[in-house]
Amino acid sequence: MNNLIEELLDIVKLPFNEISNDFKLVILSNKVLNISNFLKILDYSNEKIVIKVKKTKNIAIIGENLQICQINKKELIIKGHICSIELGDIDEKTK
């Protein structure tokens, strides 16, 4: 099924996040976080990473020694000691 989706995306020449309007968040213990279908990174430090996931929504990952270990058009992987995850609204300045 994934191959079919990838083939369709290649044919229409659109990124996955423009076809699907939902993001997916997978947490593996408090050390690894995978976000699929994100829009962009708004803020990045060792203690806080803010990711835009919808036109008006963001996710803030708060923790210690946070690092973006892998990133591509569809997903990113964050590693570190994750203390909390907050879903918030995007203010007008960051749209």
Q: 22-94: what fold?
A: Immunoglobulin-like (2.60.40)
Q: What is the DSSP string of 41-85?
A: EEEE-SSEEEEEEETTEEEEEEEEEEEEEEE-SSEEEEEEEEEEE
pLDDT at 14: 59
| pTM score, whole prediction | 0.74
**Digits of tens for pLDDT over the chain (95 positions)?**
556 666 766 665 656 555 556 788 888 888 999 999 899 999 999 999 999 998 888 999 999 999 999 999 889 999 999 999 998 888 756 55
Domain ranges of the chain: 22-94
